[in-house]
């Protein structure tokens, strides 16, 4: 019998990645059980009707055939203008390629940066697909651990201890922690990338969801534009998760190589979706602000519940649509706690272990359901953790 390639059979590495909780919750829900889902970053508001209207008008107008592989010129120009305004770095369409979502952008960026067998660095905690993405391009993933005591910021000391590598993947605002990197952290990362002659791949899909501090794109830092690949997306900022439209911004030669990759893999993104994305981006910040507002409000409500008890703790997230909760008081791993919470109360959260060893003993809560049931779920979670803590004691 023909064998499946080791490239795929080793994609996710050994052991559980914690996603079994999510899939089990979905099966329970499909079986008719009442499940409160606080797992993935899926907006509860849906894509704005005006964006859908722009998409419909484009499709009805005939933009349903093959779109140009690098991306529709209007969209590339719009993204280039947006990035130049944000970073101060001269940017045009030759610095931009459109991808089928941010995940495809991460894959393509690492295909450009990494030769098979080279080491690719990333920060722990991390978005769950990062290690698999690096293995998929033939790179050797190496996680750089951070600490909750330092708000999950990578330190110069941790960076210095890493092996020789080709790239470093960073994510601020961060999923799952909500950390927004400070000026000092960015300077340390930029110094490290330049000293080691690394590609810096910056996952900025949560750039519009910043609650404290300020978003910084490393492309804006001195001498970094020529070694930085920025991955962006319409998914989080515009509630267009299912539309699958993202981008990479970087040096022209790297973008040209990624366009060659797209020609031989995805062959572009549907034109009517790109037209809708162009329309949305050209509205200015109002739509992004509207999409982000519920998460800022819910973050504050969750933190208020956490402040009213002493067992479960949280580092207040500075951005993104999640809160990481420390449940080590229970004596359980994040995965064991998440499974117990699901079985006992029908509340589904993501285990911290889904996002790396630095997040062990935590669970990630997505702020993606209406305020009142979210508050009730967090209160139940805290009471459940307190009961487990007292039983343990």
The tens digit of pLDDT for each residue in 343-367 reads: 999 999 999 999 999 999 999 999 9
Q: How confident is the model at residue 19, as a pLDDT? A: 80
Indicate whether 15 pLDDT > 80. no
Just give the CATH number of 6-46+287-392.
3.90.1150.10
pLDDT of residue 391: 85
Burial of 285 (C-beta count, 10 Å sphere; 0-12/13-18/19+): exposed
Structure-block tokens of residue 238? 């515009």
Q: Single out the residue of 188, 358, 367 nearest to residue 293, CA to CA.
A: 367
pLDDT at 209: 98
Q: Do residues 179 and 153 touch, judged by C-beta distance below 8 A?
A: yes
pLDDT at residue number 311: 95
The confidence score (pLDDT) of residue 153 equals 97
Taking alpha carbons only, the member of 328, 336, 324 closest to residue 364 is: 324
Report domain extents, the chain: 6-46+287-392, 64-283
User: Residue 319 forms beta bridges with which residues?
Assistant: 210
Mapped onto helix, strand or coil, the DSSP state of residue 150 is helix
Q: How far apart are CA 381 and CA 374, in angstroms?
A: 10
Between vectors from CA 76 to CA 221 and to CA 178, what angle results, nearest 5°? 50
- pLDDT the model gives residue 236: 97
Q: Which helix (DSSP H) or strand (DSSP E) does residue 262 occupy?
A: helix 252-263
**22 alpha-carbon distance from chain centroid:** 17
Where b means 16+ CB within 10 Å and e means fewer, 136-154 reads bbebbbbbbebebeebbbb
For 166-193, write each residue's pLDDT tens digit. 999 999 999 999 999 999 999 999 999 9
Confidence of residue 392 (pLDDT cuts 50, 70, 90): confident
Give yes or no for residue 325 having a pLDDT over 80: yes
**What is the spatial order of strands in the sheet that 140-145 belongs to?**
96-99, 246-249, 228-233, 199-203, 167-171, 119-124, 140-145
Q: What is the DSSP code string of 170-220?
A: EESS-TTT-----HHHHHHHHHHHHHHT-EEEEE-TTTT-BSSS----GGG
Question: Does the pLDDT value for residue 165 go beyond 90?
Answer: yes
Please report which confidence band the pLDDT of residue 7 belongs to, taking 50, 70 and 90 as the band edges. Answer: confident
- Cα(204)–Cα(246) distance, integer angstroms: 11
pLDDT single digits (tens) 244-288: 999 999 999 999 999 999 999 999 999 999 999 999 999 999 999
CA distance 349 to 360: 14
Q: May I ask the CATH architecture of the domain 64-283?
A: 3-Layer(aba) Sandwich (3.40)
Q: What is the pLDDT of residues 186-235, one digit of tens each?
A: 999 999 999 999 999 999 999 999 999 999 999 999 999 999 999 999 99
User: Please, which pLDDT band fits residue 16 given cuts at 50, 70 and 90?
Assistant: low
What average pLDDT score do residues 115-139 get? 96
d(CA 377, CA 323): 13
Residues 155/123, Cβ–Cβ less than 8 Å: no
pLDDT > 70: what percent of the chain? 99
Any idea what the Cα angle at residue 17 is, between residues 356 and 294, rounded to 5°? 70
Note the pTM of the prediction, 2 decimals: 0.95
Task: Report residue 43: phi and psi, to 5°.
Answer: -60, 150
What is residue 12's predicted lDDT score, i.e. its pLDDT?
Answer: 84
Q: Which two tokens stand for residue 251?
A: 């040096």
pLDDT above 70 for 17: no
């Amino acid at each position: 019998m023909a064998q499946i390639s080791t490239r795929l059979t080793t994609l996710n590495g050994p052991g559980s990645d914690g996603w079994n909780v999510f899939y089990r919750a979905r099966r329970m829900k499909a079986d008719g059980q009442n499940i409160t889902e606080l797992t993935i970053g899926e907006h509860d508001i849906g894509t704005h009707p005006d964006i859908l209207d722009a998409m419909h008008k484009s499709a009805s107008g005939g933009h349903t055939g093959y779109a140009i592989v690098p991306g529709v010129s209007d969209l590339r120009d719009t993204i280039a203008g947006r990035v130049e305004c944000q970073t101060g770095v001269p940017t045009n369409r030759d610095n931009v390629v459109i991808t089928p979502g941010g995940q495809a952008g991460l894959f393509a960026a690492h295909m450009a940066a990494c030769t098979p067998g080279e080491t690719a660095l990333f920060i722990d905690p991390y978005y769950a697909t990062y290690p698999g993405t690096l293995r998929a391009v033939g790179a050797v993933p190496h996680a750089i651990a951070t600490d909750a005591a330092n708000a999950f910021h990578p330190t110069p000391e941790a960076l210095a201890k890493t092996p020789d590598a080709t790239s470093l993947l960073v994510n601020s605002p961060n999923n799952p922690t909500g950390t927004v990197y400070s000026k000092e952290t960015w300077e340390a990362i930029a110094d490290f990338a330049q000293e080691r002659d690394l590609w810096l791949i910056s996952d900025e899909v949560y750039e519009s969801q910043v609650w404290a501090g300020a978003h910084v794109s490393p492309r804006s830092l001195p001498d970094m534009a020529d070694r930085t690949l920025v991955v962006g997306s319409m998914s989080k900022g515009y509630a267009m998760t299912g539309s699958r439209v993202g981008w990479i911004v970087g040096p022209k030669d790297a973008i040209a190589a990624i366009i060659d990759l797209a020609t031989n893999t995805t062959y572009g993104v549907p034109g009517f979706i790109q037209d809708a994305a162009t329309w949305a981006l050209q509205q200015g910040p109002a739509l992004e602000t509207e999409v982000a507002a519920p998460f800022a409000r819910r973050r504050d409500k969750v933190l208020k519940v956490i402040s009213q008890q002493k067992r479960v703790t949280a580092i207040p997230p500075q951005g993104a649509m999640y809160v990481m909760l420390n449940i080590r008081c229970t004596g359980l791993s994040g995965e064991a706690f998440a499974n117990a919470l699901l079985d006992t109360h029908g509340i589904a959260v993501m285990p911290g272990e889904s996002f790396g060893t630095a997040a062990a003993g935590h669970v990630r809560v997505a702020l993606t359901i209406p305020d009142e049931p979210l508050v009730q779920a967090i209160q139940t979670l805290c009471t459940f953790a307190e009961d487990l803590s007292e039983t343990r004691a």
